[in-house]
Structure 1
Amino acid sequence: MSLYTAETRRLTKRRFTRFFALGTLLVLAAIVAGMFLSNHKASPERLAAAQAEAAQEYELAVRQTAKEKADCQAAQGTAAAQNFPPSCDDLYQPTREDFQASWYMPPTFTFREQFGYLVIALAALLAVMAFVIGATYVGAEWSSGGMMNLLLWRPQRLKVLGTKLGALLVSLTAFTVLVSAVWTGVFALTAHLRGTLAGMTSGAWQSMLLMELRGLVLVLVAGALGFGLASLGRHTATALGAAIGAIIVFQFGLGTVLSMAKVPYVEAYLVPVWVEAWMGKSSVATDWNSCDFSSTSGCEPATLTITWPMAGGLFAAVVVLVVGAAMWTIRSRDIT
């Protein structure tokens, strides 16, 4: 049996891997069920009911306004006049346009408008799963002594660690592609039954596919980072501690400090804006303490646009740094 095959089996047979992946799938299933049950088809019957409800609300508003105007006129010259405008004619008169039938329609799942957000949600959940599984996969090997025993059998350190990483990334790729395909199909069916697929041209489908590919890359980046951090610390807790520290220190502490110091483009120092730029192709950071004056729009805060190539370059640099450091340390440190 080859080393790669053995490592793939080791990864997929681990109970933690299976249970964590199953838990992630259950969360995704709950999202699917919630979206399916909370949306409804915009049928002619529902449209007629919404139009009737809008007309009823309009008539109710007209009667209420007429009553308020009568009360206003009756209150003139009394102490109660202060509860009304100086002129009773200033009371707002509702119009039919104020009550649109669309406001009374049940939510409808529009695939083209809403599926992009669901792709981001899928990528985020799978990225968390990949990070934790990647960290526990190699961290458990170090803490249990399994890595030392394996290196006695295969004393090629870089090859062993590289093969483990390769098995992890290939497995994550297969899992993510399969789940993404099911995710797309399920929500396409939801749109067919509980919404609409209108506007889904070949270009729109291509855009969704490219977003899912960027989601796959995000999952692989998360898995590689979890693997690399756990390998550096030779324990799962190293990666999980680094993740918790990054969330608490950089997302809350650093953001608060930079805001108090009035540093421009605070969002650009935080991870979410880079993930948003990667998944959505661009993201805008705003310097709320600046004034970009224009004769047409006046004083507007300056903005910084972060594009997906910029985000991709940052992710690549971080992965190379962390995984490269893990490879360097296993090559030079004692295996004990």
Structure 2
Amino acid sequence: MSLYRTELRRLAKRRFTRYMSLLGLLVLVAVVVGVFFTNQKIDAGQLARAERQADQQYQDQLRWSEQERAACEQAKTAGTPNDGRFPDDCSMIQAPPREAIEARWFLPSTFDFRETFDETLIPLAAILALVGFVVGASYVGAEWSTGGMMNLLLWRPRRLTVLLTKLAALLTGLLALALPATVLWFAGFWLVATFRGSTEKVTSGVWQSFALTGLRGLVLALALTTIGFALASLGRHTAMALGGVVAVMVVFQFGLGILLDMASVRWAEAWLLPTYLLAWMTKKVTLQDWDSCNATYYGECKPATFDITWQQSSMLLAIGTVVILGAALWAMRRRDIS
């Protein structure tokens, strides 16, 4: 009997795997349904109404500026101190130009597939990664805690082969869940955009960009699933993986973030793991340092910036995955099985 097929059946028959996968899918469905009911398709009547509201706000700004300018002139003539309410030159009190008040501010929320769908791939990847991490940790952790791993090694004594076969079955199971879920995610939001938004200007290049982002999301889910599996195998218990994540998030992320903020460290976000995960999904995260000022030719102050790219994130993700999995394989090979 094939060990790989046996592990696939064992993974599929675990109640925790089924419940966790169902929960993840229900969360994804809830997100799509929520976006559907919180957006509207914009018609000509709504556009005309938004234009009227923008005009009305512009007229209100004109009246307000005239009243304030008159009050400023009156206070200046009377010599009344204004306590900084008015500028020295009352003519500076002007309403904003009409084009500064946009009609889109007064439109209801609408789902523009070209502009918005890319953002929805981040929660998709996060949910799939969470499901994979927890299922992977539970899958191998239960084998160690119940003695199943020891019994299996009596039948198939090659330790590394057994562990890697379990990992291969786990990653196959995740792909079997993630690929259809991703396709349905694309289809679901296309329907949302069709009935509750816009599908205009969606070119082949846009589809290619979305597909690459979705692929990066799948890679992230596979990597975190491998890490969860390896941590649980390294500690021989599910709690090793879950406790390790809690420790990393609480101690090394929140605690380190607070410490860096108190120390006023420049580019503090560059030391935090979520920044690199976000950069992996969005291709680039630009950090800004508002304590520094780069004056432009026109006297405008722009903060210094620091870019974290998906290439840097890929190196961190690959090194972390290889190191943790390598440690689990080394421990499996060297430690006694008891």
Distance, in Å, in 2 between the alignment partners of 1:50 and 1:261 is: 47
CA distance 1:97–1:319, change in 2 (3 Å): closer
Partner of 1:26: 26
Distance, in Å, in 2 between the alignment partners of 1:329 and 1:155 is: 15
Q: 1:171 and 2:173 equivalent?
A: yes
Q: 1:51 and 2:51 equivalent?
A: yes
Partner of 1:247: 249
In the TM superposition, 1:115-154 aligns within 5 A as 115-154=117-156
SS in 2 for 1:306: strand
Q: Which amino acid aligns with 2:240?
A: T
Deviation at 1:102, TM superposition (A): 1.9
Partner of 2:10: 10
- Deviates further, 96-105 or 73-82: 73-82
Q: Which amino acid aligns with 1:265?
A: W
Distance, in Å, in 2 between the alignment partners of 1:292 and 1:90 is: 27
Q: Contact (CA 8 Å) 1:284, 1:304: kept in 2 or not?
A: yes
- Deviates further, 193-202 or 258-267: 258-267
The share of aligned pairs that are identical, in percent, is 49
- Deviates further, 113-122 or 41-50: 41-50
SS in 1 for 2:308: strand
Distance, in Å, in 2 between the alignment partners of 1:295 and 1:46 is: 42
SS in 2 for 1:304: strand
Distance, in Å, in 1 between the alignment partners of 2:75 and 2:167 is: 81
CA distance 1:302–1:88, change in 2 (3 Å): closer
Deviation at 1:88, TM superposition (A): 7.5
In the TM superposition, 1:1-336 aligns within 5 A as 1-61=1-61, 85=86, 92-93=94-95, 96-97=98-99, 99-286=101-288, 302-336=304-338
Deviation at 1:169, TM superposition (A): 0.7
What do residues 289-335 of structure 1 show as CA deviations (whole Å, max 9, x unaligned)? 66778878788655432222221121111111111111111111111
Distance, in Å, in 1 between the alignment partners of 2:225 and 2:96 is: 57
SS in 1 for 2:18: helix
Deviation at 1:251, TM superposition (A): 1.1
Q: Contact (CA 8 Å) 1:278, 1:312: kept in 2 or not?
A: yes
Distance, in Å, in 2 between the alignment partners of 1:54 and 1:254 is: 46
TM-score by length of 2: 0.87
Distance, in Å, in 1 between the alignment partners of 2:59 and 2:109 is: 24
Deviation at 1:52, TM superposition (A): 2.9
CA distance 1:233–1:94, change in 2 (3 Å): closer
Distance, in Å, in 2 between the alignment partners of 1:328 and 1:43 is: 63
Distance, in Å, in 2 between the alignment partners of 1:292 and 1:47 is: 40
Distance, in Å, in 2 between the alignment partners of 1:101 and 1:221 is: 44
SS in 1 for 2:336: coil
Q: Which amino acid aligns with 2:230?
A: G
Deviation at 1:158, TM superposition (A): 1.0
Distance, in Å, in 2 between the alignment partners of 1:235 and 1:30 is: 32
Deviation at 1:90, TM superposition (A): 6.2
Q: Contact (CA 8 Å) 1:130, 1:220: kept in 2 or not?
A: yes
Aligned residues: 336
Q: Contact (CA 8 Å) 1:291, 1:301: kept in 2 or not?
A: yes
SS in 2 for 1:305: strand
SS in 1 for 2:109: coil
Distance, in Å, in 2 between the alignment partners of 1:144 and 1:309 is: 41
CA distance 1:246–1:94, change in 2 (3 Å): closer
Gaps of 5+ in 2: none
- Deviates further, 63-72 or 125-134: 63-72
Distance, in Å, in 2 between the alignment partners of 1:297 and 1:80 is: 33
CA distance 1:136–1:61, change in 2 (3 Å): same
Distance, in Å, in 2 between the alignment partners of 1:325 and 1:42 is: 55
SS in 1 for 2:286: strand
Distance, in Å, in 1 between the alignment partners of 2:276 and 2:89 is: 55
Q: Which amino acid aligns with 1:114?
A: T
Q: Indicate the RMSD between aligned Cα atoms, in angstroms.
A: 3.0
Distance, in Å, in 1 between the alignment partners of 2:66 and 2:298 is: 42
Deviation at 1:56, TM superposition (A): 3.9
SS in 2 for 1:42: coil
- Deviates further, 256-265 or 150-159: 256-265
CA distance 1:90–1:81, change in 2 (3 Å): farther
- Deviates further, 219-228 or 59-68: 59-68
Q: Contact (CA 8 Å) 1:115, 1:187: kept in 2 or not?
A: yes
Q: Contact (CA 8 Å) 1:28, 1:122: kept in 2 or not?
A: yes
Deviation at 1:24, TM superposition (A): 1.4
What do residues 169-226 of structure 1 show as CA deviations (whole Å, max 9, x unaligned)? 1111221111111001111111111111222111111111011001000000110000
Q: Contact (CA 8 Å) 1:108, 1:195: kept in 2 or not?
A: yes
